[in-house]
Amino acid sequence: MRPLIATIHPGALRHNLDRVRQCAPQSRILAVVKANAYGHGLERACSALAAADGFAVLGLGEALALRMQGWTQTILLLEGVFAAEELVLAAEHGIAVVVHHDRQIEMLAHTALPRPLAVFLKMNSGMNRLGFAPENYRSALSRLQAMENVADITLMTHFATADEDGGIAEQLGVFNAATAGLGQARSLANSAAVLRHASSHADWVRPGIMLYGASPFADTSAAEFGLQPAMTLQSEIIAVQQLAPGQGVGYGQQFVAEQPTRLGVVACGYADGYPRHAPTGTPVAIAGRMTHTLGRVSMDMLCVDLTALPEANVGAPVELWGRQVPVDDVARAAGTVGYELLCAVAPRVPVEVGE
């Protein structure tokens, strides 16, 4: 068996959910488990996150799968439905839907439903992706309130720069002004807002990335927020090479040794979800000791520097990311974010459940 394996840590997921509770003790928690729970496995993650007050997913298929498994919490479709037929199934199974567009209001108005649906009405407060403009928000709300198809309504928006210097002040101001005096429950905060912007916590927080033990911020690590990585991607050294000065390694010979270099070949490549853009110097741990990659990542393999680790041989364990190597550090080296790396772990990588 190829030694590459992803280990999911339910204990870390539970711990990170507790961290959300500590940060937002007055709020209910809608655990965001879209994208196969950010690569951790939908069912697996939800089992560990059972104490959440609800789950947010992208598609109806995921929502139905969760209902079939017996989850009774709120389940929210983050983009709502794409076709009227989906409304019937959503209503049948008590799945809440985001409404962000007139077309979805039309669908609700013209579809016979077995029972009324819970709706999260989304405002575009500045992200400019989904949602009603602030000036159109109240009329959308009134139309929904008048419908027998609609049960309770939650007021919702999403922040564009909660993780950056810009923060949330402007969008929060727009949202609060446009919803002043309305009595419905509210949902605004993603992980970054959960961690840094208590003024946005409101009735439902919607954490994603922090549950998985990665940081939404470039300037603060997950560990500094007391979060634990929920995934370890590990493999082994499958070959060792000795490079003389002037010899290169791999496609493009992008790394050329300047001095005698002992090089380890690791069973993990971009077809497994490791970022091809990770340059020489990307951190990796071999048998508990930190070193770095050398040369270009190839489809099924990557190379690491073992010059300072003479005891590391074929079979030595390699952590690509996890408890020793934060996924955010690998992401930063590759010019991306931890979110992308976690979501991109390939289906061919076997998954095991750790403690």
Ligand X SMILES: *Cc1c(COP(=O)(O)O)cnc(C)c1O
Q: How many of the other CB atoms lie within 10 Å of CB of 18? A: 12
Residue in 29, 33, 78, 227 binding ligand X, rule: CB under 6 A: 78
If binding is defined by CB under 6 A, does position 74 make contact with ligand X?
A: no
For ligand X, the closer of residues 337 and 349 by Cβ is 337
For ligand X, the closer of residues 200 and 235 by Cβ is 200
Q: How far is CA 199 from CA 131, 206, 254, 299, in A?
A: 21, 14, 49, 45
Tokens of 56: 């947010």
Q: Which stretch binds ligand X (CB under 6 A): 21-29, 105-113, 201-209, 256-264?
A: 201-209
Active site residue 122: no
Number of separate helices (H) and strands (E) present in the chain: 11, 18
Residue of minimal Cβ distance to ligand X: 208
Residue in 9, 197, 201, 206 binding ligand X, rule: CB under 6 A: 206
Q: Which among 54, 33, 219, 177 is positioned nearest to 155, based on CA atoms?
A: 177
If binding is defined by CB under 6 A, does position 13 make contact with ligand X?
A: no
If binding is defined by CB under 6 A, does position 104 make contact with ligand X?
A: no
For ligand X, the closer of residues 119 and 238 by Cβ is 119
Nearest distance from C-beta of residue 122 to ligand X, angstroms: 8
**24 phi and psi, to 5 degrees?**
-130, 65
Residue of 34, 212, 270, 339 with catalytic role: 34
Residues 6+ apart with CB under 8 A from 201: 23, 24, 26, 27, 188, 189, 193, 194
Residue type at 22 in one-letter notation: Q
Q: Which stretch binds ligand X (CB under 6 A): 99-107, 208-216, 252-260, 279-287?
A: 208-216
Nearest distance from C-beta of residue 21 to ligand X, angstroms: 15
For ligand X, the closer of residues 140 and 249 by Cβ is 140
- Determine contact, residues 141/179, Cβ cutoff 8 Å: no
If binding is defined by CB under 6 A, does position 158 make contact with ligand X?
A: yes
Cα–Cα–Cα angle for 274, 334, 279, nearest 5°? 90
If binding is defined by CB under 6 A, does position 80 make contact with ligand X?
A: no
Report the Cα 109 to chain-centroid distance in Å: 33
Active site residue 137: no
Nearest distance from C-beta of residue 28 to ligand X, angstroms: 14
Residue type at 80 in one-letter notation: G
Residue of 122, 137, 212, 251 with catalytic role: 251
- For residue 19, the 8-state DSSP code is H
DSSP letter string over 278-335? PPTT-EEEETTEEEEEES---SS-EEEE-TT-TT--TT-EEEEESSSS-HHHHHHHTT
Q: Is 59 exposed, middle or buried (0-12, 13-18, 19+ CB in 10 A)?
A: middle
For ligand X, the closer of residues 73 and 235 by Cβ is 73
For ligand X, the closer of residues 91 and 209 by Cβ is 209
Residues 254 to 273: which contact ligand X by CB under 6 A?
none
Residue in 208, 213, 229, 264 binding ligand X, rule: CB under 6 A: 208
If binding is defined by CB under 6 A, does position 316 make contact with ligand X?
A: no
If binding is defined by CB under 6 A, does position 209 make contact with ligand X?
A: yes
Residues 17 to 46: which contact ligand X by CB under 6 A?
32, 34
For ligand X, the closer of residues 124 and 298 by Cβ is 124
Residues designated as active site: 34, 251
Contact set with ligand X (CB under 6 A): 32, 34, 78, 158, 190-191, 206-209, 216
